[in-house]
Amino acid sequence: MSTIPNASAPAAGSIVPKAEEKLSATQGGPQAGNGNTPQINWDSEIQLVSSLAKLQELERQIHVLRQSVPDGVLEPLVPISNSKASPLKAVAESPSLLREELNQTARNKLSNIENFQSTWRGPELQPIWARVEARIKESNGQLLQPTGIWEMDYDVLLQELLKAEKTKEEESQREEEDVERAKAQSSEGEWETVVERFVQRNIPGVRVVKGQKAFSLGVALAKAGMILLVEGMKDPDVSGVSEWQVSAKTPPGRSPTKLENSIMDCLNTRSRKWDLAFLLDMISSYADIKSTPCAKCTRLTNNGAQLPTIRRVQPIQPPQEEQRTFAFDALHSDCA
The secondary structure of 145-213 as a DSSP string is -TT---SS-HHHHHHHHHHHHHHHHHHHHHHHHHHHHHHHTS-TTHHHHHHHHHHHT--TTEEEEE-SS
Residue 78 pLDDT? 61
Are the beta carbons of 7 and 98 closer than 8 angstroms?
A: no
Q: Is pLDDT above 50 for 274?
A: yes
What are the φ and ψ backbone dihedral angles of 96, each rounded to 5 degrees? -65, -40
Better pLDDT: 1 or 126: 126
Residue ranges covered by each domain of the chain: 12-165, 190-331
Q: What is the pTM of this model?
A: 0.59
Look over the chain and give the mean of its residue pLDDT values, rounded to a whole number: 80
Residues 189 and 185: their CA atoms lie apart, in Å, by 9
Contacts of residue 88, Cβ cutoff 8 Å, sequence gap at least 6: none
Better pLDDT: 144 or 90: 144
Residue 107 pLDDT? 85
Task: Indicate the burial class of 312 (C-beta count within 10 angstroms; 0-12, 13-18, 19 or more).
Answer: middle
Are the beta carbons of 311 and 266 closer than 8 angstroms?
A: yes
Residue 209's identity, in one-letter code, is V
Topology of domain 190-331, CATH: Rossmann fold (3.40.50)
Residues 283 and 202: their CA atoms lie apart, in Å, by 14
Q: Is pLDDT above 80 for 156?
A: yes
Better pLDDT: 30 or 233: 233
Annotate 4-41 with DSSP letters as a single string. ---TTS--GGGTHHHHHHHHHHGGG------S-PPP--
Confidence band, pLDDT 50/70/90 cuts, at residue 319: low
Residue 317 pLDDT? 58
**19-23, 39-43, 105-109, 210-214: which has the minimum mean pLDDT?**
19-23
CA dihedral 75, 76, 77, 82 (to 10 degrees): 80
Better pLDDT: 25 or 260: 260
Residues 220 and 225: their CA atoms lie apart, in Å, by 8
Confidence band, pLDDT 50/70/90 cuts, at residue 265: very high
Better pLDDT: 298 or 148: 298
Residues 266 and 55: their CA atoms lie apart, in Å, by 44
Q: How far is CA 170 from the centre of its chain?
A: 18
Are the beta carbons of 293 and 299 closer than 8 angstroms?
A: yes
- The fraction of the chain above a pLDDT of 90, given in percent, is 40
Find the distance separating the first CA and the last CA of the chain, reported in whole Å. 56
Confidence band, pLDDT 50/70/90 cuts, at residue 318: low
Q: Is pLDDT above 90 for 63?
A: no
- The fraction of the chain above a pLDDT of 70, given in percent, is 79
Residue 185 burial (CB count, 10 A): 20
Residue 268 pLDDT? 94
Task: Indicate the burial class of 8 (C-beta count within 10 angstroms; 0-12, 13-18, 19 or more).
Answer: exposed
